[in-house]
Each structure stands twice: as structure tokens, then as C-alpha cells.
Structure 1
């Protein structure tokens, strides 16, 4: 890769600057010179030819915009002179062929995971505490206070404060010096060593604002999502709180679980407050049954499993102008490696596939899935337009500031996470992943709503690429954060796990970075690496209500 600029596709008429390029810089390109007519900021794009009003703009080999003003050769693409444009699509599929990457470095490799009765393998072993309605959120808080810290599952931060040690010192008449010298801070790693249940990675408390009010359809989708969490390979069992009168009834959740897994056998304890003698009795019963569930969950130990058991969620957020050049293509290569090894990458965020629909349609193995993807994309677009918005309004101020001028430009780069392999299945929100190979899952672009959906459909790991830094995670699926640029990695090492900025500097290729990422994934899947999101207690959980969320 050039050290100062890159043209992604031979048909592109814009080029990305890899460093700040001052006005007057001469760019040698395709046997001719381009003289920059203005300063071009790092991550931003400039033209390779003069563009008139209405001329089409291409990047990644696809239509990403249209000129709204005359743009001189060597000038920057900006919101002031360009607007979003994307190609239409149809389900008449072209013949598609795929050449799998070399997997010799990974053949026969395993990770240590938790084997479940349904044949799935978890990368973690969690117990869930779930309210069926927001009315029960306070009881969830009470249970968390009773169990989490006492059992060694500090949930809010990457360290814990042992105030009890100071209390004991005071009661024993300790001096000021003795109190000041008493260690009271412990990291999560240190806390984990003293857990009562060492084979249980955590108790996760999934508070939300749904289950009642809203529409009945919202409650049904919520139950489908929660069922996905309960049957998830990373989950050992669950404690469920119900008020009793809400839309999301216990029976609705039970039916959703049965639909996902007819032979479901994990321990799940249901509590209905309106049938309980008192809140005190409700909490007492919840604590005891959860404790007994943890005893059973602790009997499960990690054992070797093939890499094919990894279901990898592909997500990006806080994207910048390098995301589609370094981190996303590297993740895409990892996706291709995983497919070749029999695993399952899952590409989500449908608002960020605008403009690349035809490529994904052509990659669908069946016309049925091609039609389903087309229908989901058109319905999503129509719902955004119906409220006076549209996919063109997707890029955030941060995206635009860092070089992502149109939604199609952002989408073309975001889609790189999915690699180049065939699409084996298209899934709507909360549908369960069942087929090995690249899956498409309809979720919003919203970071937490997306990761919530990926885990709910069965992803046992998520890789989250970012160019600006996004401090989010998921309660049950470890989230690996990968930066698109080294500056971000150096600045936010506390939330970023791995740096793909080395692709920009030339230290890595897309392929070598993809292989490094897969090595990291294997270690995270085995519990050998605790992701930064886990250390920070980023247990973000926001169910999508199927409204317009870009």
C-alpha cells in the first residue's frame, strides 16, 4: 500500500489520502500527475479527474455519490460539493464463484470452549437474570447487589474496592498508618481467581425498557431475542422475573425458546411477582434458585473444540475514513478464513449495506435468500423515508469529519467486514443462526442494538472495528475491539484490543492482519484473553423495537 494515498478499485475516480497532503502536492497516478488544488486531510478523498454537476462518484468500485457542484481534479470530496447516491439492485443473480484463502496455518487448530447438549460450543459460561418487563428492573438491581460482588463477579468497572477491609481494620483498632497501608483495590483478574464458581464466567443482568406498553409485536420480538440469549452457547441457564400482567408473558418466552430449540434442557427458573406473597419472598426465592443454578453451571469445564464452532459477529462503529481501508478488510479476510475452516461469520447493520446490495445479492446461494435480503433492505429504507429520513442521513458528524462523506461510501467500506465468500443464509432480526458460512443478519447500524441482535442470534464472539473509538460491549458475547488507525489505538488502549493501523503504515498487509486477528479470536474464545470490553464491564444491552434506527 502506498504511504501517502490509496486507490481502492481501478474504476474509482476518487483517491484516499493516507496522510495530510498540502495544496500543490503532485500525485503520480496511472502514468499522469494529479496536482492537489487544496489541502487534503488524512482519511479524506480527492478526485482523479474534473467532475461536473451530476457526475457520478465511485469508490470501492461502486457508486457512492454524485457531484452537486463542479469539482476540479485534485480537489477534496466534501458535503458541500457531493451528496449520497447508490446503485439500484435486483434479484437476478449473476454467476458467482469464490476462491477460498490458504488456511494451512489454521487447519486442525482448536479452542477451549463449553460444550452444550445441542452440539454448540460456547466461548463463555454465563448465568442470566432477565426481566420480562421494565417493571422488574429494580428487582434485577437487588439481585445484582446480592450476588455479583459477593461471588466475585464485579460488573461495573475493571477493578473493585474492598471497603470491608477498611471496616475490619477500624473495628480492630488499626492505626492511621495501618489503614493507609491496607490494600483495597483488586483487578477483575485478581477477583476472578477467588470466585466461588471458577467455571462460571459471570452473572449477567439484562435490564431493558420493554415488555409492556408499546406494541404486542415489540413484546413478541423481545421474547424472541431473550429466547436467543437463553439458548445461546455461552449461557448455562437463567432466572426470569415477570410482573404478571405485561405483554411479554412467560408463556410467550417459553414458546420462543421451544421454537429455537425443541429439546431445550438448560435450567431456567421463572418468578412472577404478582403471585408471590411479598417482594421479600420473591427475592429470597430468586437468590436461592440462582445460587443452585450456579452450582450446576460450575460443573461444566472448557474442552477443545474445532474453530468451525466459532460464530463471529461482524460489527463496526465510530467509523473513520480508514475503517474501510484497514480494519474492515482485515476483518473480511478473517471472515473468509473462518468460512474456509467451517465457521460462521455474520454480517449485520443493514443501513450500512446501502449501495452494495447487488454484490451481496449476487453472492447469495439461493434465490430465496437473495429475495429476502432485497425485501428487508427495501422495507428498511422505506421505513426511514416514511419518517422524513433515509439511509443518506446515516453518517454521523464524526463519520463525516473523518472522511466518510456519504452513506454509500460508509457502507461500501463497512461491507468489507463480510469478506468475499458466498452468503449461505439471510436472517431477520432475532432469527437463529444455523448454517455454517457467511450469514446476513438484519440489525440497525446503532452499535448496541446491533451487538445485542448479533448475540441474540447466536454469535459467540463479536469483532467490532472502530476508527474513532466506541466503548461498548455485550453481556454474553466477548467483543474484540480493533482500531483502524494506530493513533486511536495508542490513545485508547484501555478500550481497544488490537490495532489494524499497521495496514495503513505498511507494517501489515490485509492478509497478515486478518491472520493475526484470527489468532487473537482463538485465544479470546478459549478464555486466554479477556477483552477490554469485558474488563470495563461493558454489558450493553438494548433490544431493537423495529422502529427507524440508523
Structure 2
């Protein structure tokens, strides 16, 4: 993509600037020639022809907005002259056909994973420590301090902060300027200590602020989410802390686990503080149960498995004007390759599918899924409007600054992560992935709430595209960051795993980058490469509260 501007779809009447384009730049695109009447920033868009007030603005081949002012050919598209608009949709499906990509490069490919009794295969092998209510978070802190370092699960970051140097300077009478000039960053190599249990990738502590208060449905949803983590193929077993009087009872979690896996057999230990002799006894019992559980988990070794066992979460955050033409479609192509190989991609963030609903409805294999998706989307939109924040408010200030000025424009680019394959299943929040092929999972647009939901529904690896940079991860599913532009990859190299900016520079096509993405996914699933989010200990876990708090 070496040209300085691009019409993404033949139907588009706005053009994206690949480079910053000064006023009077000569434009030759889509059979039209003209000069720009003002400067156009990189990643932003300009008008292919004149727009009258009310005219539709088309990008990615779909409606993304309407003109609210007259716009001249060659004029910038901005939040002042265009407002959000999206196409209507219904559950009636139009004809759809799919041509699968060539998967010869991935024929019979395997990865070394952790095989579970239920037939699933994990890319990692973790032990979980989970509180059923926020009241138990402190006990998790105690357990974390007692176990992580001595068992070899603390990681040394690529730098440390020496605050003591500032204290010494301050005590010696240093000025503010001298304090600010003091070097307090010490570089050090990223290493793992020797682990007592080499086959266990870590102990993860899922602290949260739920389980009691709010409404009962919040606790029920939380238990279903936690059950999803416990039954995830990346998890070997769990230690559960309960206070005893909270809404999220042990029995509620057990029922949620059984609903997902009637033959559940992983080791799991329940500890209830109000039934314990003392806090000391509670912690002692928890440490011993967890240690013994780790000895059991350590007996599981990596063995070959087909890549059809991969459940790939598709996520984006901190999107920019290049996300929809580089990182997202490349991930979409990797998604199609995985689907054609028998695997399972999962597309989330329903607020960021606004405007492309009909296309996804048409792709649903089952009528029931088309109806379910349409119903969830309409209900979601109505609830957003009811609290005074419709989908049109979705783009963040960072999105807008980088050229994504309407939700439909952002959504049309975000949906590219899902490729072009048929939709085999539509899932509501916390529902378990059971069908191979592309699944749609209802999660919010909030990045961490969404990745939390993806792992809770069974994803054993996640690719997270970003144009601005998003430092986040997940406790149990490796989260690979994929940049839409090379500048971000170079600036935040310690966070970015894959650079799709080579599509913009013309070094890669969407297809060649998609193949590289799937290859990288396989290597991470294999345990040969660690996600940078894991190396940095980014274990973000935020359950989604869908109701009001009482």
C-alpha cells in the first residue's frame, strides 16, 4: 500500500490519507481528478465529491455517517461536518457464500499444548486462586506473597525504578531541577527464576470488586465468568476463597461449572473463611492445598495437538485510522485461515459492530443465531440510549484524533478482525464456545472487560490489534499486541508483538501478514514465544456488570 491515499472499497465516497497531504495536492482516484482544498492529516479522510447536508457518507462499503454541513470535493471529513449514522438491519438473511483461503501452508500443522480430560487443549498451564467476593482479596494478597517468589513465578522486568536515589538527593538538599535530572531507571534483563514446577506456567490471582452487593444477577454472572476461567483449557485447577455470607455462594459457582462441564474433574479446593478456625488456619490450608494442586498440575506435559484446538479471541483497542486497513483485515485473514483449518476465532465487542450488523446476520449459518444477534444488538443499543450514551458516543478522543470520527466508521474497520467466514454461533456474555468456526461473543467495547469475557468463554489465546498502543493482558490467555502502524511498533516495542504497519509501507499484503500472524500464534501456543504482556505481568481482569447497583 505505497500510494499516498486509498479508496478502501469501490463504493466509498471518502478517501483515506495514507500520508499527510498538503493543500493543493493533486488527487487521481476512482475515476476523478481534483486538488485538495485544505491540508489532510495522515489517517484522516477527505471527500471524493461534493456533499449536501443529509448526504450519506460511505466507507468500507457501508454507511458510516451523514453530512451535517455542505462539504466540497477535496475537503476534510471532520466531526464538525459529519455525524454518526449507520444502516438499519433485521434478522432476515440475504444470500451469502464464502470462498475459503488456501491453507496449504498450514496443512497438518500442530502445536504442543496441554491436553485436558474434556478434549480441549491449552496453550498454557495455570493454577488459579479466586475470591468469590472482594472481601477475600486481602487473603489473595497474602497467598501471592507466600507463593510466587519462592516458587519462581516472579519475573524481573526490563527495568526497575530506583526511588531511593530521589530520597538520597532530597535529604542532601537537592533542588527540584536536580531531583528531576536524577537518573532513577535501572535496566536489567528479563529473566524467569528457576521454577519448582516447570510444567506450570504460573499461579494467577483473579482479584475483583464483585460477589456481593449490587443485584443477584451480578453475582450469578460473575460465577458463570469464573466458571469459564476454571474450565478454560489453559487452567489446571483452582483454589477458591469464600467469605460465607456473600451473594456469590460456592454452590452457585459449582452449578455454573457443572453447566459448562458435567464431567468436570480438575482439582479444585473451596475454603470458607467464616467456617475456619482463624485467618492463620485459613491461609495455612490454602497454601497447602495450592501447593499440592501445583504438584498435580506439574504432571501434565505439552503434547502435539492440531491447530483446530486453538480458540482465538479477536480484540482491538486504541484504534487509529490505519487499524481498519492493516492490522484488523490481516487478523481477519488469519481468522479465516484458522476457520478453514477447523479452528475457532471469536469476535467480540458488540458496540463496535454497529453498522455492519446486516453483513454478520447474512453470514450466520443458523437462523436462530441471526435472530439472537439482531436481538442482542437492538437490546444493547436501547440500553445505551436509556442511560444517555448511544453508540454514536463510542469513539474515544484518541480514536477521533486519529481519524475515526463516527462509531460506524470505527465499527466497520473493527469488524474486519472477523474475516469473511460464516458465523457458526452467536454467544451472549459468559456463554461457552462449543462450535468450531467464527463465533460472535457479546462483550462491551471496553478493552479489558472484553478480553476478560473472551477468556471466560474459552479462548486460549487472544490477538489484540491497536493503533495507539494499549498496555494490557489477561491472566490466563496470552494476549498478542498487533500494531496497525510501524511508528507505534518502534515506539512501544516492549508492548507490541506483531507489526502490521508493513502493509501500509507495502512490504506485506493483508494476506502475507495474515499468514505471519497465524504462524506467530502457533509459536506462542507452542510455548516457544511468550506474549510481551505475559513477560510484563499484565494480568488485567475486569468482570462486566450488566445491571444497576443497589
Q: TM above 0.5, one fold?
A: yes
Instruction: Provide the C-alpha distance between the structure 1 equivalents of 2:491 and 2:235, rounded to a whole number of angstroms.
Output: 34
1:41 partnered with 2:35: no
Equivalent pair of 1:133/1:243 in contact (CA under 8 Å): yes
- Cα deviation, 1:248-273, whole Å, max 9, x if unaligned, reads 00000000000000000000000000
Corresponding residue for residue 178 of structure 1: none
Equivalent pair of 2:156/2:191 in contact (CA under 8 Å): no
Note the C-alpha offset of 1:134.
0.2
Corresponding residue for residue 259 of structure 1: 259
Secondary structure in structure 2 of the residue aligned to 1:346: strand
Note the C-alpha offset of 1:32.
2.7
Instruction: Provide the C-alpha distance between the structure 2 equivalents of 1:73 and 1:449, rounded to a whole number of angstroms.
Output: 41
Corresponding residue for residue 180 of structure 2: none
Secondary structure in structure 2 of the residue aligned to 1:105: helix
Corresponding residue for residue 115 of structure 2: 115
Corresponding residue for residue 170 of structure 1: none
Corresponding residue for residue 418 of structure 2: 418
1:225 partnered with 2:225: yes
Note the C-alpha offset of 1:190.
3.5
Deviates more, 1:27-36 or 1:320-329: 27-36
Secondary structure in structure 1 of the residue aligned to 2:315: strand
Instruction: Provide the C-alpha distance between the structure 2 equivalents of 1:79 and 1:16, rounded to a whole number of angstroms.
Output: 15
RMSD of aligned Cα (Å) = 1.4
Instruction: Provide the C-alpha distance between the structure 2 equivalents of 1:204 and 1:156, rounded to a whole number of angstroms.
Output: 17
Instruction: Provide the C-alpha distance between the structure 2 equivalents of 1:283 and 1:2, rounded to a whole number of angstroms.
Output: 60
Corresponding residue for residue 280 of structure 1: 280
Corresponding residue for residue 205 of structure 2: 205
Corresponding residue for residue 439 of structure 1: 439
Q: Name the count of aligned residue pairs.
A: 524
- Cα deviation, 1:445-490, whole Å, max 9, x if unaligned, reads 1010000000000000000000000000000000000000000000
Equivalent pair of 1:392/1:406 in contact (CA under 8 Å): yes
Note the C-alpha offset of 1:59.
0.2
Equivalent pair of 2:328/2:416 in contact (CA under 8 Å): yes
Unpaired segments of 5 or more residues in structure 2? 162-185
Instruction: Provide the C-alpha distance between the structure 2 equivalents of 1:75 and 1:441, rounded to a whole number of angstroms.
Output: 38
Equivalent pair of 1:158/1:535 in contact (CA under 8 Å): no
Corresponding residue for residue 370 of structure 1: 370
Q: 1:54/1:501 Cα in 2 relative to 1: closer, same or farther (>3 Å)?
A: same
Instruction: Provide the C-alpha distance between the structure 2 equivalents of 1:159 and 1:260, rounded to a whole number of angstroms.
Output: 42
Equivalent runs, 1:248-397 vs 2, <5 Å: 248-397=248-397
Note the C-alpha offset of 1:30.
2.7
Unpaired segments of 5 or more residues in structure 1? 162-183
Instruction: Provide the C-alpha distance between the structure 2 equivalents of 1:19 and 1:51, rounded to a whole number of angstroms.
Output: 24
Corresponding residue for residue 489 of structure 2: 489
Instruction: Provide the C-alpha distance between the structure 1 equivalents of 2:393 and 2:189, rounded to a whole number of angstroms.
Output: 42
Instruction: Provide the C-alpha distance between the structure 2 equivalents of 1:303 and 1:429, rounded to a whole number of angstroms.
Output: 31
Instruction: Provide the C-alpha distance between the structure 2 equivalents of 1:66 and 1:373, rounded to a whole number of angstroms.
Output: 26
Instruction: Provide the C-alpha distance between the structure 2 equivalents of 1:546 and 1:314, rounded to a whole number of angstroms.
Output: 21
Q: Report the TM-score when normalising by structure 2.
A: 0.94
Equivalent pair of 1:355/1:412 in contact (CA under 8 Å): yes
Q: 1:230/1:156 Cα in 2 relative to 1: closer, same or farther (>3 Å)?
A: farther
Instruction: Provide the C-alpha distance between the structure 2 equivalents of 1:34 and 1:540, rounded to a whole number of angstroms.
Output: 49
4+ runs deviating over 3 angstroms: 155-161, 184-190
Equivalent pair of 1:124/1:525 in contact (CA under 8 Å): yes
Note the C-alpha offset of 1:95.
1.5
Note the C-alpha offset of 1:159.
7.1
Equivalent pair of 1:158/1:537 in contact (CA under 8 Å): no
Instruction: Provide the C-alpha distance between the structure 2 equivalents of 1:547 and 1:154, rounded to a whole number of angstroms.
Output: 37
Note the C-alpha offset of 1:3.
2.0
Instruction: Provide the C-alpha distance between the structure 2 equivalents of 1:30 and 1:444, rounded to a whole number of angstroms.
Output: 37
Note the C-alpha offset of 1:186.
7.0
- Cα deviation, 1:51-97, whole Å, max 9, x if unaligned, reads 01110000000000000100000111100100000000011101211
Instruction: Provide the C-alpha distance between the structure 2 equivalents of 1:53 and 1:541, rounded to a whole number of angstroms.
Output: 45
Corresponding residue for residue 172 of structure 1: none
Equivalent pair of 2:347/2:439 in contact (CA under 8 Å): yes
Note the C-alpha offset of 1:187.
4.8
Instruction: Provide the C-alpha distance between the structure 1 equivalents of 2:487 and 2:432, rounded to a whole number of angstroms.
Output: 38
- Cα deviation, 1:425-455, whole Å, max 9, x if unaligned, reads 0000000000000000000010100000000
- Cα deviation, 1:158-183, whole Å, max 9, x if unaligned, reads 6799xxxxxxxxxxxxxxxxxxxxxx
Corresponding residue for residue 455 of structure 1: 455
Corresponding residue for residue 20 of structure 1: 20
Equivalent runs, 1:70-81 vs 2, <5 Å: 70-81=70-81
Note the C-alpha offset of 1:344.
0.2
Instruction: Provide the C-alpha distance between the structure 2 equivalents of 1:49 and 1:430, rounded to a whole number of angstroms.
Output: 46
- Cα deviation, 1:489-543, whole Å, max 9, x if unaligned, reads 0000000001000000100000000000011000000110011100110000000
Instruction: Provide the C-alpha distance between the structure 2 equivalents of 1:271 and 1:315, rounded to a whole number of angstroms.
Output: 35
Corresponding residue for residue 171 of structure 1: none
Corresponding residue for residue 141 of structure 2: 141
Equivalent pair of 1:100/1:421 in contact (CA under 8 Å): yes
Secondary structure in structure 2 of the residue aligned to 1:149: helix
Instruction: Provide the C-alpha distance between the structure 2 equivalents of 1:329 and 1:535, rounded to a whole number of angstroms.
Output: 27
Equivalent pair of 2:38/2:76 in contact (CA under 8 Å): yes
Instruction: Provide the C-alpha distance between the structure 2 equivalents of 1:388 and 1:93, rounded to a whole number of angstroms.
Output: 31
Corresponding residue for residue 523 of structure 2: 523
Q: 1:322/1:199 Cα in 2 relative to 1: closer, same or farther (>3 Å)?
A: same
Equivalent pair of 1:13/1:58 in contact (CA under 8 Å): yes
Secondary structure in structure 2 of the residue aligned to 1:258: helix
Equivalent pair of 2:15/2:46 in contact (CA under 8 Å): yes
1:539 partnered with 2:539: yes
Corresponding residue for residue 131 of structure 1: 131
Equivalent pair of 2:156/2:190 in contact (CA under 8 Å): no
Deviates more, 1:485-494 or 1:32-41: 32-41
Instruction: Provide the C-alpha distance between the structure 2 equivalents of 1:262 and 1:470, rounded to a whole number of angstroms.
Output: 38
Instruction: Provide the C-alpha distance between the structure 1 equivalents of 2:155 and 2:210, rounded to a whole number of angstroms.
Output: 22
- Cα deviation, 1:242-298, whole Å, max 9, x if unaligned, reads 000000000000000000000000000000000001000000000000000000000
Instruction: Provide the C-alpha distance between the structure 2 equivalents of 1:442 and 1:190, rounded to a whole number of angstroms.
Output: 36
Instruction: Provide the C-alpha distance between the structure 2 equivalents of 1:383 and 1:328, rounded to a whole number of angstroms.
Output: 28
